[in-house]
Amino acid sequence: MEPVSLFAALGHGTRLRCLLLLLSHEELCVCEMTYALGVVQPHISRHLAQLRELGLVVDRRAGLWIYYRVNPALPDWVFRVLWETVQGASHQEPFTSDRTALAAMPNRPGATHCA
């Protein structure tokens, strides 16, 4: 992982918001991130694809749904940067609203599939 690639990925609000949510959860479905961020699915999917291409996240398909998680094989220095970012931004908007919205999402995929 090149530092320029990491910081370019973190430089876009949607990608940063997705990464911060993923760091707080084992994995999330695209529909959960769409709901939490309040943006349309193609927008989220495009940014998640960019994060996947950079190696920051990995995905898995379960039926019709795609779940993402932070790549566990990231170098330690990348995890440290990401965790410091979480610590510094966790009480700021829009990150607090993202977590609140996700927590309030009805019919989360753990119990049922996304609508």
pLDDT tens, per residue, the chain with 115 residues = 899 999 999 999 999 999 999 999 999 999 999 999 999 999 999 999 999 999 999 999 998 889 999 999 999 999 999 999 999 998 999 999 999 999 999 988 754 445 4
> For residue 110, what pLDDT is reported?
59
> For residue 17, what pLDDT is reported?
96
pTM summary value: 0.90
Q: Are 38 and 101 in contact (CB under 8 A)?
A: yes
How far is it, in rounded angstroms, from Cα 63 to Cα 37?
A: 23
C-alpha closest to that of 22 among 73, 75, 67: 67
Q: Sheet holding 65-70: strands in order across? A: 28-29, 65-70, 57-62
Q: Are 56 and 19 in contact (CB under 8 A)?
A: yes
> For residue 68, what pLDDT is reported?
97
For CA atoms 67, 69, 73, 78, the dihedral sign is positive
Place of tokens 């753990």: 110
C-alpha closest to that of 98 among 12, 8, 19, 9: 19
> For residue 58, what pLDDT is reported?
98
How far is it, in rounded angstroms, from Cα 63 to Cα 53?
A: 22
Domain ranges for the chain, please list them.
3-93
Q: Are 96 and 21 in contact (CB under 8 A)?
A: no
Quick one: CATH architecture of 3-93?
A: Orthogonal Bundle (1.10)
